[in-house]
Amino acid sequence: MNNQHKEAYISLNALTQFKDQHGHYHFDADKEAVKLYMQAQIMPKLLKFKDIPAKLTYLVENNYYDEIVLAQYKFDFVVELFQKAADFNFTFPSLMGAMKFYQSYALMTDDKQNYLETFADRACMNALFLGHGDAQLASCLLDDILHKRLQPATPTFLNAGKKRRGEFVSCYLLRLEDNMESIARGISTSLQLSKRGGGVALCLTNLRESGAPIKGIVNQSSGVVPVMKLLEDSFSYANQLGQRQGAGAVYLNVHHPDILQFLDTKRENADEKIRIKSLSLGVVIPDITFELAKANKDMALFSPYDVEREYGKPMSDISITDEYANLLANPRIKKTYTSARKLFQTIAELHFESGYPYILFEDSANLRNPLKKVGRIIMSNLCSEIAQVNTASAYSEDLTFTKVGEDVCCNLASLNIAKVMEAAPQFAEIVEHAIYGLNLVSRASDLACAPSVQKGNLGNHALGLGAMNLHGFLAENHIFYDTEEAVDFTDIFFFCLAYHAFSASNKLAQKVGPFANFALSEYADGTYFQKYLNEDKQPKTAKVKELIKKYQLKLPTASDWRNLVERIKQSGLANAHLLAVAPTGSISYLSSCTPSLQAVVSPVEVRKEGKLGRVYVPAYKISADNYAYYQKGAYEVGPNALIDIAAAAQKHVDQAISLTLFMTSEATTRDLNKAYIYAFKKGLSSIYYVRIRQEVLEGSEHLAEDALISNLNECESCMI
């Protein structure tokens, strides 16, 4: 690449952070940077073909495209679809979007010298794959992707239609039992799944604590930390062709006796023998822990070894909140004590040091669990938006299964709120296309390497349709993020999304049948939907009423819900879970929109992108007209505003919201503890990362740049 051209588009992009002599920002400079980037860097390296049939023939014959995907359709239709995509004349709204696609998603020749795809081509292959032979659905999906109404998750968007590929699944959740066979099988399964490109989370709650007996001999168990070290080394080894290390997380219930040592592994000054560097940590907190902290009481830590012997089932499969008094009173269960407030203080200190641990509010997640009769939600994933039931497996000494339980995989995609609202009269159709496409992902994935995950997936076909670009939509419509109107709109949008998602899954069930445990679910008797059946939902604020009218969004009535519930009772749902809001770190850049439901960190965000250094990312459709609505970003609005937005969505989301809390440099551990309590009281299922803004060096040329660079080590497979 000509260095002069490179300097030119980088310089144009950098202009977006500055004002001219009249006080106007150069936001349009980023669009000029895109044009120059495409002309200088991409178009000369894009392999040319005489026509579309020649291109498709080349890509199939040279093992780039999967002929099985294409063979589901008439060849003339495939050519027509590619032509339709080309005629759309797709352009990237931002330099970051263009760079993200061509550096991370576009198919290249094996020698990495030429590009074989444009964004439109990749969109076509996704539409054809997700359409699964249905030409009309494929055409609709292409429209939704090109218009940026729908964006498949990174593993799906990256791998769809490729001959040589990873899996389409973002991440996996595995539970471990208290025996060496389960631990060994968990490690080997993690290696297999990492090899295929997914992030893996494992629940350690059932492992006996340090000092517990082995074969009746006391003080023999080493506890959970050595298992964490084994897992960390395994994920480091599974480096996915050297592109990045495998991504792993471990979850532990806070009433496990090893909890403080578990947390200490992330301390900056931890002994190297126990220090965990790349493995992510998550904690599972039941309601009773908050009650004990409120009363300033000590909390009991219960031996999982003793609990399983007394209850006949693992510790993760009982409710610590419900059984706390019985556990305390049982002299045959060993218990130790620590201050509940000290626990929360330790969690807050670690959040300041590392951003970890993730938090799963166990009882909140299980309260909305539609499969209570099947099992409990005991953990989450690497981005804390998945909340599904895991059930136990059992093994013989040679690690073969004697009982295959059910573990979890994440089949994800996200709607772009602003773009969906622009097409609001077609809201139902857009959601239906998304659910149908995601359902195909759940049915097309080859998970034979992980039998428990495969069983869970085939039995549940659970999906995680989410949304992004909330702040972009709010700013475009002159609504500040930290307002009642913002919460009101979020509530209404997800209310509509839930209705149409359940409706789409019900239509699917009429074709393919209900998921395996539907009859045991709260969907089957209608109890899950009670909150929707008695009153028509309406916006609470005048501004949102205006938006509903402006965009012609039709709100489902209580009668609509009652009719839907009757249909669900009769023919079921194809999917055990439907909604989950992921962080969308990668695909929001690809789509040039604001991430997930969170506020932007700055009107012009700063990213570190390899050899290019700093790349500036203007917020969605930012202009002089709406700039003020981006000025108050995630750090400025404070954690309560972020929690209020997430809680409004959580009312309608059957799984969880990937919520990152942003705290200023003035924040204290007390402030963080207040945020945990507020999120808990608002009924959220989880908290993802905590980010603390660092002080900016005085005299810095770029006033906020050093504080806002987004270089946190996050799991891209789960950021989707």
pLDDT tens figures, 678-697:
999 999 999 999 999 875 44
From the CB of residue 31, how many other CB atoms can be counted at a distance below 10 Å? 16
Give a three-class secondary structure readout of 494-519: HHHHHHHHHHHHHHHHHHHCCCCCHH
Q: Is 383 a catalytic residue?
A: yes
| Selected catalytic residue, list 126, 159, 253, 381 | 381
Tell me how many degrees the CA angle 152-156-160 measures, rounded to the nearest 5: 115
Q: Of all helices (H) and strands (E), which one includes residue 280?
A: strand 280-285
pLDDT value at residue 340: 98
**Structure-token pair, residue 642:** 């972020």
Task: Residue 655: name the closest of 474, 473, 537, 501 by CA.
Answer: 501
Reduced to 3 states, what is the DSSP secondary structure of residue 260? helix
Reduced to 3 states, what is the DSSP secondary structure of residue 149? coil
**Structure-token pair, residue 482:** 């930290």
pLDDT value at residue 243: 46
Cβ contact 142:124 at 8 Å = yes
Cβ contact 394:177 at 8 Å = yes
Whether a cis peptide bond, with omega within 30° of 0, leads into 286 is no
pLDDT value at residue 536: 97
Task: Residue 266: name the closest of 205, 195, 349, 330 by CA.
Answer: 349
Task: Residue 713: name the closest of 264, 245, 269, 238 by CA.
Answer: 245
Half-sphere exposure of 84 (CA within 13 A, CB side): 20
Q: Of all helices (H) and strands (E), which one includes residue 249?
A: strand 248-253
Strand partners, 252: 283
Model confidence pLDDT, tens digit, residues 411-436:
999 999 999 999 999 999 999 999 99
* Full DSSP string of 371-391: TTTT-------TTS-------
Strand partners, 649: none
pLDDT value at residue 241: 47
Task: Report how many helices (DSSP H) and strands (DSSP E) the chain contains, helices first.
Answer: 31, 18
Low-confidence ranges of the chain (pLDDT < 70): 1-6, 21-23, 219, 239-246, 610-612, 695-720
| Cα(25)–Cα(631) distance, integer angstroms | 13
Q: How much is the pTM?
A: 0.95
pLDDT value at residue 620: 97
DSSP 8-state code for residue 657: B
Give a three-class secondary structure readout of 532-550: HCCCCCCCCCHHHHHHHHH
pLDDT value at residue 706: 36
Cβ contact 468:594 at 8 Å = yes
Q: Is 713 a catalytic residue?
A: no
Strand segments, DSSP code E, in 649-689 are: 661-663, 686-687
Cβ contact 464:408 at 8 Å = no
Half-sphere exposure of 378 (CA within 13 A, CB side): 32
Q: Is 593 a catalytic residue?
A: no
Strand partners, 217: 214
| Selected catalytic residue, list 181, 232, 308, 385 | 385
| Selected catalytic residue, list 203, 383, 409, 715 | 383
Domains of the chain: 171-403 (3.20.70.20), 588-705 (no CATH)
